[in-house]
Structure 1
Amino acid sequence: MLKIKKMIILGSAMLAVSACSSQQSVHKNDYIYRGINFGADRNEAFKKGVVDACTTADGDYTKDDTLFHDNEDYRMGWGSGRLQCKGK
């Protein structure tokens, strides 16, 4: 019985440790905004899209419609920011 309890405790501890270690690594070139990692090597248009989308997620609708229509990086940043910042 004692052996089973030890195995359960050990298994639980291993599960807890493995859950903590699965967090995403941060690299030198990662773009982090509001504590959210949006990936490496993001250009200024993508970053502006993230900032505008996170502002929108806060309740102040912000989007550069021209950039959203014409610039894929801004559009990708806005979409990613909207999803990641929503509810944060």
Structure 2
Amino acid sequence: MKEEMMMGKMKEMMMMEKMMKKKMMTKEIMEQLSEQDKRKLLAMKIDLKITMIEQKLEMMERKKRLMASKLDMKNSMIEKKLEIMKAVKEMLK
């Protein structure tokens, strides 16, 4: 158990180290780019973020439609059950 925790922490530290190296490398590259290239790169990053947000919005809308249809199904099932119960009550009178 302790070995697994140690391995997990080691992996986490390695991942953090990789991220730090990547950030430093990105910073060095950014320093060498011209202002125009920096703007293009920034525009590409923003475009990527916009695309991701649009996809997230699409997924949320699909989820919303699915939940609405699920609730409609439950509602119709409850209504049918109520009708059946009323019919049984009438039959017992």
TM-score range, shorter chain: 0.3 to 0.5
Higher helix share: 2
TM-score by length of 2: 0.32
Higher gyration radius (CA): 2
Higher relative contact order (CA 8 A, sep 6+): 1
TM-score by length of 1: 0.34
